[in-house]
Chain A
Amino acid sequence: MTENCWRPSASVEALHRRGALLADIRRFFAERDVLEVEVPVLSRRATSDPHIDSITALCNGDTAYLATSPEFGLKRLLAAGIGDCYYLGKAFREGEAGGRHNPEFTMLEWYRCGWDDRRLMTEVGELLSRVLNTARVQSLSYRELFLRELQLDPHTASEQQLHDCAAREVELSFVPANRDECLDLLMSHRLEPAMGEGITLLYDFPASQAALAKVLPDDSGTPVARRFEAYVGGLELANGYWELTDADEQLRRFQADHRYRGIHKLHVYPFEERLVAALEAGMPECAGVALGIDRLLMLVGGYTSIDEVIAFPIERA
């Protein structure tokens, strides 16, 4: 039925809220002298992230990909000396659809030169407080949250302990393949719902989930990813890094992702070697974060499904 429906799934009121939110975000960055920039949505290179798939397009007869995030383009601009900057526009992910996902979505991503993850976390908290009109912000480490809710240290627990905990807490149809799958299950099924109301900034992720963040020892000497996520009422909104600037390490991570994708029979995309070249040339020390605007709008208006904030989600697009 919905295939034939010409109407937007979002109300006119929700679409007015979207316009106001985008305008407010642009004001926020204008006040702070952060420059809005554009980067390609259609690219010849794709993400290497093991758990994110790109949508393939045809361009001038060649394979191209819709950007899963503006990260590579923005980092190339940073290496070129653009300074503090943000992108506010579309990103695309294959296979992601549901109450909180649409394959085409609106992403805000910004970078702060000379900042680390902690300082950027504070700014994420400020933006969210302003938009959501709340002062309730808690920050805690990934370890603290696991200890608080599950009495389990995610960095030092044995693989067996993680498996036992996942099997106890979640009704599973499969045996988790590794530590990270256990941690992901516990995070999405047990910990996100336990975060409570207000804004939660979670930092110091396991080193195995560093993606493109620096890995450094924490106070206890455990190597942790200097990566953070922002949640509101358990809904994941943003993911940020103290960015990796080491070109050799970047190349190793791309190659490791490729190996992982190969072993797991996932599609292997051409990775962005121009990012490695940009890092070789020199990218300033910086922190960056990506934030899902559709989900933020859900929170602003109290909507429960992403279809209520997107005029034409994929079934109607």
Chain B
Amino acid sequence: MASYSTNEFKGGLKVMLDGDPCSIVENEFVKPGKGQAFNRVKLRNLKTGRVWERTFRSGESLEAADVMDREMEYLYNDGEFYHFMEPETFEQHQASADAVGDAAKWLKEQDVCTVTLYNGSPLAVTPPNHVILEITDTDPGLRGDTAQGGTKPATLSTGAVVKVPLFLEIGETIKVDTRTGEYLGRAKED
């Protein structure tokens, strides 16, 4: 397997640290004028999502992690695994609930997600930045009070709960930013 030296470290590079695949978040070159050079690195452990900070001697290297991001269509959940398909090859992959993590609440069948493969199997799932989902539950809309710009919680078809304006009702479809959980607007009718 290839390895990368500290001067090749940059955001997004996938390396092995303490036996776990990690993605480099930040690499700061630290050097006192008359002292030794270090690289102060922040890495996200791709298994746990936790961010580690670690200092290396400049010039040290880390083994590359066999990690790649693939665009895949979400198919279904069989109660235990989430199934995804590569659109070109139709190859299917099953991801555990651990790998899917928080992304689960945004997964709608046929949406295209980014699936991170580690040694060939799904390690993490990133939903599309924007998803269109139906409101399955929310308090009745309050008429005539829309100018106040108040919000209320609404439950969506995938189980996610987001804050929406008061005038929205059950059955409407809305656009949501999955990175922030923010309501972006009513979805246009197809």
Contacts and interface: CB of A to CB of B under 8 A. Distances in A.
B47 interface: no
Contact of A184 (B28, B32, B60): B32
Interface in B1-50: 7, 27-38, 40
A248 interface: no
Contact of B37 (A95, A172, A187): A95
Contacts of B58: 95
B60 to A, nearest CB: 7
Interface stretch (A36-44, A96-104, A278-286): A96-104
Nearest to B57: A174
B63 to A, nearest CB: 13
Contacts of B179: none
Interface in B45-73: 52-58, 60
Contacts of B38: 184-185, 188
A171 B58 CA distance: 15
Please indicate which of the listed interface residues B28, B34, B38, B58 has the most CB atoms of chain A within 10 Å of its own CB: B34
A174 B147 CA distance: 60
A97 B29 contact: yes
Contacts of A170: 55
Nearest to B27: A98
A51 B59 CA distance: 13
B34 A98 contact: no
Interface residues of B, number: 22
Contact of B35 (A96, A99, A171, A188): A188
A51 B27 CA distance: 20
Contacts of B31: 51, 96, 101, 188
Nearest to A229: B33
Residue with the greatest number of chain A CB neighbours at <10 A, chosen from B28, B35, B58: B35
Contact of A171 (B34, B37, B53): B53
A51 B60 contact: no
A129 interface: no
Interface in A132-174: 170-174
B6 to A, nearest CB: 10
A180 B40 contact: no
Contact of A174 (B28, B37, B60): B60
Contact of B30 (A172, A188, A229): A188
A272 interface: no
Interface residues of A, number: 29
Chain B CB within 10 Å, residue with most, of A51, A189, A209: A51
A95 B7 contact: yes
Contact of B54 (A171, A185, A239): A171
Nearest to B53: A171
Nearest to A225: B34
B40 A189 contact: yes
A101 B29 contact: yes
A172 B36 CA distance: 14
B34 A209 contact: yes
A123 interface: no
B29 A189 contact: no
A78 interface: no
Contacts of A52: 34
Contacts of B60: 173-174
A98 B35 contact: no
Contacts of B32: 184, 187-188, 236
A211 interface: yes
Q: Which of B28, B36, B40, B52 has the most CB of A within 10 A?
A: B36
A180 B32 CA distance: 12
28 contacts: A51-B31, A51-B35, A51-B36, A51-B37, A52-B34, A97-B29, A98-B29, A98-B30, A100-B29, A101-B31, A170-B55, A171-B52, A171-B53, A171-B54, A173-B55, A173-B56, A173-B60, A174-B56, A174-B60, A180-B35, A187-B35, A188-B35, A188-B38, A209-B34, A209-B35, A229-B33, A239-B33, A290-B33
Interface of B: 7, 27-38, 40, 52-58, 60
User: 4 tightest CB-CB pairs across the interface, nearest first?
Assistant: A98-B29, A184-B35, A188-B30, A239-B33
Given A97-B7, A173-B55, 6 more contacts: A51-B36, A95-B7, A95-B58, A98-B27, A185-B55, A239-B34
